[in-house]
Amino acid sequence: MRYERLRREMVKRQIEARGIDDPQVIAAMLKVPRHLFVSDALRDQAYGDFPLPIGEQQTISQPYIVAEMTQALALGPEDCVLEIGTGSGYQAAVLAQIVYRVYTVERLHPLLLNARRLFDELGYFNIVTRYSDGTTGWREEGPYDAIIVTAGAPKIPAVLIDQLKVGGRLVIPVGSAHTQDLVKIIKHRDGLRQANLGGCRFVKLIGEHGWKDS
C-alpha cells in the first residue's frame, strides 16, 4: 500500500537517519497511519518532514519531533502517560502503541472530538481523552510515569511536576511564543534533573499556567 511505503521512507530518512534508535518508537511510527490524522486534502503530505495544519490554527508536529519527544520519555509497557494538547491525536496514538495507557487533554472541543472518533475507529482503546485546560494536569488519574506537553509554555507548570511519580519524566517546550527549548525533567526523590534537548517551535500552551488567551 502506498501510505505504508511513504511511512517506511519517513522512518528511514527522518527518524532513523537522525539518530532515533529506540525500537519501540520506530515500531510505533511504522504502525500509526499518520495520513488519517490530517484532512483529506493534506493526506499526501502527511509523511513529509514538516508540521501540518489541523484546523483551529493548530498543527500536527513534524514526525521527527514526535519521535524525539517519545524517545526522550523513556517509556515501558506498564507506563501511564499524560499528554497535554491532543490536537490531531497522532502523538497520543504513537504513545498508545508503547505504553499501558495514555491520558490526553485538549482545550479545543472540535479537535478533541475528531481525535476521539479516530481513536475509536482505529481501536486505540487505551487512550482516555478529556476536554479541559491541561496546564493544571489531570490529578485524579495521576501520578504518571511520564508527562508530555505538545504546546509551548512560558514556564514549567509546577502542578505537572507534582503529578509525576518519583522516577517520572516530563518533556515540555519552554520559551517565548515563537521559539522554545525542548526541556526534559526527571523527578528524583531528592530533586529534579533537567536537560535541554534543543530548539523547537510549537503553538502556544494556553491556560491557567500557560499563556493567557488573547
Cβ of residue 80: shortest distance to ligand SAH, in angstroms? 17
Instruction: In whole angstroms, give the CA distance from residue 175 to residue 192.
Output: 19
Task: State the CB neighbour count (10 A cutoff) for residue 149.
Answer: 26
Kindly state the cell numbers that stand for 13: 530518512
- The piece of 16-24, 68-76, 101-109, 118-126 that touches ligand SAH (CB under 6 A) is 101-109
Angstrom distance (rounded) from CA 187 to CA 46: 35
- Which residues in 171-200 contact ligand SAH (CB under 6 A)? none
Closer of 109 and 193 to ligand SAH (Cβ): 109
Using a 10 angstrom Cβ sphere, with 0-12 exposed, 13-18 middle and 19 or more buried, the burial of residue 151 is buried
- Candidate ranges 22-30, 58-66, 154-162, 186-194; the one touching ligand SAH (CB under 6 A): 58-66
Task: Please tell me the distance from the alpha carbon of residue 73 to that of residue 169, in angstroms, as a whole number.
Answer: 6
In the list 63, 134, 168, 175, the residue contacting ligand SAH (rule: CB under 6 A) is 134
C-alpha cell recorded at residue 30: 511504522
132 is catalytic: no
- The least CB distance from residue 183 to ligand SAH, in Å, is 16
Binding flag, residue 203, ligand SAH (CB under 6 A): yes
Taken as a whole, the chain contains a residue count of: 214
Pick 65 or 164: Cβ nearer ligand SAH: 65
Nearest to 185 by CA among 198, 167, 210, 204: 167
Which is catalytic among the residues 61, 132, 176, 214?
61
C-alpha–C-alpha distance, residues 16 and 164, integer Å: 29
Of 7-15, 52-60, 73-81, 183-191, the segment contacting ligand SAH by CB under 6 A is 52-60
Q: Is 129 in the site for ligand SAH (CB under 6 A)?
A: no
Q: Residue 184: enclosing H or E segment and its boundaries?
A: strand 180-188
Is 106 a binding residue for ligand SAH by CB under 6 A? The answer is yes
- Does 207 bind ligand SAH (CB under 6 A)? Our answer is yes
DSSP label of 166: E
Using CB under 6 A, list all residues that contact ligand SAH.
58-61, 84-85, 87-88, 90-91, 105-108, 111, 133-135, 150-151, 203, 205-207, 210
What residues are annotated to the active site?
Answer: 61
